[in-house]
Structure 1
Amino acid sequence: MTKNKYLFPFIMITSLFFMWGFVHNLDPILIPHLKKSFSLSTLQASLVDSAVFIAYFVMALPAGFLMKKFGYKSGIIMGLLLFALGSFLFIPAANMQSYVFFLIALFIIACGLTILETAANPYASLLGPEETSTFRLNFAQSFNGLAATLAPIIGAKIIMTKGNTEEELNAMTASAREVALASEASSVKMPYLILGSIILVIAIIFVFLKLPEIKETEQKKGEKTGIIHALAHKHLSWAVVTQFFYVGAQVCVFSLFILYATKAAGIDEQEAANYAGVGVGMAFMIGRFFGTFLMKFIAPPKLLSIYAAICILLSAAAMTVTGMIAVYVVIGIAFFMSIMFPSIFSLGIRDLGKDTKFGSSLIIMSIVGGAILPLGMGHIADLTHNIQLGYVVPLICFVVVFLFGIKGHKVVPINAASSN
């Protein structure tokens, strides 16, 4: 899969995919937990995703400039340090019982993740032969899927405490209710303290680790480069738009799963959290490994379009079916959407040459879809009092992914694209 000199660096980069996958997949636990702790509406609770994914929009281009000037290793270290800082800020946020402070801490974590993803995705893709870049990135992203399995299960055990029900809270006096909710809010302190400490140790390891700096195509004197030039690549522009919609769909499915499962299937939050891990998360992980295997026999764009078509049908079903069938339908969506992010990413930066780092930044920047589209799903849920109808949002997103797999991924030389 990689040359020997790239093997250990590839292993270390792959570990980063697990770490940011783990913290991202604690968000589905945080949303219902903070919703209850601060008496929020579904739309207000969705601001957890907004705080996280707006960071991708804000930080992606600065991350690209950072990598362009100082290289991938510097970007990775900077990303890890911000990741650790945001995790430590959960402690004062819980002490102050401030939802806004929690959102700020999540934003800082996500700034770190933005830099990490801007560096690690193209780095994993470039650590080896170009013809296996999509396979290699899907393999690394499979450990992101492993994190999606473990995080909800572990998070539910240590964050989603056996607190009071809404009925019990409503029956309390104001002061007793305040104490009870403060206790629940404080349950996040220890998990994020441990997480921040681990990330800090990893950052120190990377300081002393020798990583090969991958060189893209050398820029010739007088040759154009930059963000505008990068966007002139038609397949990159398609990838930016497609990733915006895909990430929006993924966040809708993952972050609102517990709220969806409790309403559609009538199960409690703890059971829903277990299904989020052993169901949705495991399906996502298995889908990544299985999809990576299938790419040996089926071209990635074709497999992407097939999986997107299946997700369109399953999203339609998620809007209508009830009971445990609804849960299984969403688990199916997780399985078939598993290969989408790395496939869109690697197809989007293919043949960019000197524009690869800017192209990577633009695709990461489009992750802001995860901040915007779940708000639409949350608004539909609040408006109709039926979260299932909100699945029209992921359905539309998968239509865009399908179109990218059919035609949007095709590399067209800039001169040919401009003459059409």
Structure 2
Amino acid sequence: MALASGSPQFSHIDTGGRSLRMPFVIVTSLFLLWGLAYGLLDVLNKHFQEALHVGKAESAWLQVAYFGAYFVVSWPAGQIMTKLGYKRGILIGLGLYALGAFLFIPAAWMRSFPFFVGSLFVLASGLTCIETAANPYVTVLGPPETSERRLNLAQTFNGVGSFIAPLLGAMLFFNIAEGPQAGLGGVQIVYAGIGILVLVIAVIVSRMWLPEIHEADTLVHDDEPATSLLHQRHFTIGVFTQWVNIAGQVAIGAFFINLVVENWQGFTSADAAYLLSVGMALFLLGRIVATSLMGRFSPRSILTFYGCANVVLTLIVTADIPKVSSVALTATFFFASATFPTIFSLGVKGLGAQTKRAGAAMVAAVSGGAILPPIMGMTAERWGVAPSYLLVTLCYAMVALYGWKYSKPLPPKVKGRMSAMALASET
């Protein structure tokens, strides 16, 4: 999953007459790196249940560590970019990413689940630093009129990484010949390889020219209403919806392998991991389709439809129909693909000078991914995996409701009345 953050506005970029092609290629490769990390996350969840004998609720601490890092580290990462620059910020992020990956090796030797959780937090902290820098870089490495196209292109590599990762997990984590207990050797191989790859990219980045980016001060126009963000309904409800959306999206994958193994007779964990890669491919396809549809339909309509589709699909999952529920769960990835960027863009629309603050709040909403999986795990342990997906149904019902009713900015007169009421309450 690419968790796009708000892109600041820039006055100019110093190229010195040099081409921006290679800097764009290098920065785009970073999207592949965090696609690999996210794609492996859900495979690790099931694998550790088998190899380390942890329960479903306990295994969800992997999601807590991964998405909790975004909440904890996002603000310090922004400060690092401001003080040290984007290139150094990227290098710090790559260093943390590599360190977290290499820490998986002693964690496997010790067979310590808490050690794995801590290692993943370090790795995700590096991803947070990288992502804080990558989106702004991509938007300015070329003509302004094609910035959105470049960002969409870069984010497709996130989908490629997310597709490859479950395939690696299926081949190396679930060793059928030796049993799941021996599979931690596969974890060591995969994360050692990732750590080396990240270090190689870090060396390349350190030796490459990356252009300096100069932020422009955001201007407030005279006709722009100075309304508090808290009085912007499409923003405040949008942040909550984003939090719920990420919670649901992460929960879909967190217990995907558990659901498929229990629902599809004869399926092993490795088979389910291969099916997860199909889901990740659908995620990539869903994003491409949504982007093309936005030329014909409004983003609000697409968001409402995607949300409603996942409400129906997750209800089929909770019915626990043999094989059918597994197919329905795989299909949810398609309709989960475009919800984050669409909610993000709708939530910050028309906010003018406050867009950057609004974007930061939207990024903080990623922490929703750290909350629902443990709750879902406890629900699954008590009532079963399939019924626990009813929690995901509720998440996408909120997404559909936001797209249908709350995503449109209020007319100026309504916002004016809200501001007057707020002023009256203060006096």
Whether TM exceeds 0.5 here: the answer is: yes
**Quick check: 328-337 or 68-77, which moved more?**
68-77
How far residue 50 of structure 1 moved from its aligned partner, in angstroms, is: 1.1
The one-letter amino acid of 2:385's match is I
Partner of 2:398: 400
The Cα shift of 1:190 comes to: 1.6
Give the Cα–Cα distance (whole angstroms) in 1 for the partners of residues 355 and 253 of structure 2. 29
| CA RMSD, Structure 1 to Structure 2 (Å) | 3.1
Show CA shifts across 1:154-193 (max 9, x none). 121112222666xxxxxxxxxxxxxx84x43333112111
1:43 aligns with 2:57: yes
The residue type equivalent to 2:57 in the other structure is: L
Equivalence for 2:385: 387
CA distance, structure 2, for counterparts of residue 134 and residue 150 of structure 1: 25
Change (3 A) 1:299 1:74: farther
Kindly provide the amino acid, as one letter, of the partner of residue 242 in structure 2. Answer: Q
Deviations 1:328-347 (A, max 9, x none): 11121111111122323344
- Using the TM superposition, give the Cα deviation of residue 391 of structure 1 relative to its aligned residue in structure 2, in angstroms: 1.1
Q: Where in structure 2 are there 5+ consecutive unaligned residues?
A: 1-12, 221-226, 422-427
Deviation at 1:62, TM superposition (A): 1.5
Task: Return the letter of the residue paired with 2:288.
Answer: F
Contact 2:172 2:183 in 1 (8 A): no
Q: Does the 8 Å CA contact 1:26/1:155 hold for their aligned counterparts?
A: yes
Matched, 1:119 2:133: yes
- Letter of the structure 1 residue corresponding to residue 303 of structure 2: L
- 1:82 paired to 2:96: yes
Aligned residue identity for 2:203:
I
Q: One-letter code of the match for 1:115?
A: C
Q: 1:362 corresponds to which residue?
A: 361
C-alpha displacement of 1:236:
4.3
Name the stretch that deviates more: 103-112 or 312-321: 312-321
Matches within 5 A, 1:21-420: 21-125=35-139, 136-162=150-176, 181=181, 183-219=182-218, 235-266=234-265, 267-277=267-277, 279-350=278-349, 358-384=357-383, 386-411=384-409, 416=416, 418-419=419-420
Cα shift at 1:356: 5.2
- The answer to whether the 8 A contact 1:25-1:254 is kept is no
Name structure 1 gaps, 5 residues minimum.
166-179, 222-227
Distance 1:213 1:404 in 2: 38
Q: Deviations over 1:272-302 (max 9, x none)?
A: 111111x211111211222222223323332
Aligned to 1:161, what secondary structure does the other structure show? coil
CA distance in 2, matches of 1:57, 1:204: 28
What count of residue pairs does the alignment treat as equivalent? 396
Moved more, 231-240 or 29-38: 231-240
Residue type of the alignment partner of 2:276: A
Q: Give the distance between the partners of 1:393 and 1:262, measured in 2 at CA.
A: 20
The letter of the residue matching 1:25 is: G
CA distance in 2, matches of 1:83, 1:286: 28
Asked whether the equivalents of residues 145 and 281 of structure 1 are also in contact (C-alpha less than 8 Å), the reply is yes
SS at match of 1:25: helix
1:373 shift after superposition: 0.7
Distance 1:220 1:296, change over 3 A: closer
Quote how far apart the aligned CAs of 1:253 are: 1.2
SS in 1 for 2:371: helix
Amino acid at match of 1:307: Y
TM-score (normalised: structure 1)? 0.84
8 Å Cα contact 2:261/2:268 also seen in 1: yes
Scaled by the length of structure 2, the TM-score of the pair is: 0.82
Q: Distance in 1 between matches of 2:144 and 2:348?
A: 11
Distance in structure 2 (CA, Å) of the matches to 1:335 and 1:361: 26
In structure 2, distance between residues paired with 1:208 and 1:350: 38
Cα displacement string for residues 299-327 of structure 1 (whole angstroms, at most 9, x for unaligned residues): 33322222111111111111114222112
**CA offsets, 1:76-113, max 9 Å, x none?**
22221111110011111112221111110000011111
Deviations, residues 138-161 of structure 1 (Å, cap 9, x unaligned): 443222222222110112111222
Distance across 2 between alignment mates of 1:418 and 1:108: 43
| Residue pair 2:168, 2:190 contacting (<8 A) in 1 also | no
> Do 2:232 and 2:415's aligned partners in 1 also have CA atoms closer than 8 Å?
no
Give the Cα separation in 1 of the matches to 2:88 and 2:351: 22
The answer to whether the 8 Å contact 1:134/1:346 transfers is no
| d(CA) in 1 for partners of 2:152, 2:405 | 21
Single out whichever of 156-165 and 320-329 deviates more from structure 2: 156-165
Task: Write the letter of the residue equivalent to 1:378.
Answer: G
* Whole-angstrom CA distance in 1 between matches of 2:281 and 2:378: 28
- Identity over aligned residues, as a percent? 36
Change (3 A) 1:361 1:340: same
Distance 2:341 2:22 in 1: 21
- Helix, strand or coil: the match of 1:89? helix
Q: Which amino acid is 1:193 matched to? A: A
